[in-house]
Amino acid sequence: MNFELDPTLAADTLEFVSFELCDVRLMNDARFPWLILVPRRHAAVEILDLDRADQDFLWSEIRFAAGVLRAVYRPDKLNIGALGNQVAQLHVHVIARFHGDAAWPAPVWGSGPARRYEHERDKRLDELKAMLAETRPSVR
Amino acid sequence: MNFELDPTLAADTLEFVSFELCDVRLMNDARFPWLILVPRRHAAVEILDLDRADQDFLWSEIRFAAGVLRAVYRPDKLNIGALGNQVAQLHVHVIARFHGDAAWPAPVWGSGPARRYEHERDKRLDELKAMLAETRPSVR
């Protein structure tokens, strides 16, 4: 079966870039620089569902995404999590957190309604893409 | 400098087992089967602070801990997260989640006060240790 992005994830996120294993999407919540990595593997729910090679790709892509967020935003903390209690399709959150952001020091999940991007969307995508281009020219 | 376990982590968790890189501790909250992996590296805060070899050890140990929780508890979902907003010392949560558990479907963080282990503590540690012994006899 082919991979299809979960409709809730599709509705909550914006297309950003495609890595070797994962679609990397921007959470449509302007309160936090927040990437979602979704391995393009049909029916994957747990990290343990991936084969070993994909698990290693995932780790590499998580670290790469975290490095990009760190380079662009200089956050006080990175938050990385694979939860999936509400959306079963395997996805990993990589989030730049700041002292005093809308949820600090709590996790972003359950921190109230998202503030959808308006005019800041292109700026955010552009600054992320610029850093990607700098650090990984071969990204598709 | 030598590694020293953060005092808050020490107070909130119970000693369980030592992996190659991480001390694996049991969160002292009987509501959830919940492991905390703490890399024994001085001053590590972010996963990106670890060198590449340690990052790969960490990934391997996260997956191993997740596999043990899955084998013992057959959870509906695994939650894996590196947050560190409240305790800076790098630590990774690996949690077995169930439909209808005390926080479901929200994350465990912020789900109210822990219920400290009493008589169930030894049972939980024993069942985890038994599975560890079965799957990884060389654990120290």
Residue environment code for A47-72, b if the CB has 16+ CB neighbours within 10 A, otherwise e: beebeeebbebbbbbbbbbbbbbbeb
- Which domains are assigned to chain B? 7-134 (3.30.428.10)
User: Which chain A positions have a beta carbon within 8 Å of B83's beta carbon?
Assistant: 77, 79-81, 107
State pTM to two decimals: 0.95
Report residue B134's pLDDT band, with 50, 70 and 90 as the boundaries.
confident
Query: In chain A, whose CA is at the least distance from the CA of B69?
Result: A48
Instruction: Answer yes or no: do A85 and B66 touch at CB < 8 A.
Output: no
Mutate to test the interface with A, among B58, B73, B83 (most CBs of A within 10 A): B83
Strands, sheet with B22-27, edge to edge from the N-terminal-most edge strand: A13-18, A22-27, A34-39, A92-97, A77-82, B77-82, B92-97, B34-39, B22-27, B13-18
Q: Does B70 touch chain A (CB under 8 A)?
A: yes
* % helix, strand, coil for chain B, step of 5: 35, 20, 45
ipTM of the complex: 0.95
Q: What backbone phi and psi angles, to 5 degrees, belong to B15?
A: -60, 140
> How many CB pairs (< 8 A) connect A and B?
90
Instruction: Note the pLDDT tens digit of each residue in B40-69.
Output: 999 999 999 999 999 999 999 999 999 999
- What is the H or E stretch that residue A93 is in? strand A92-97
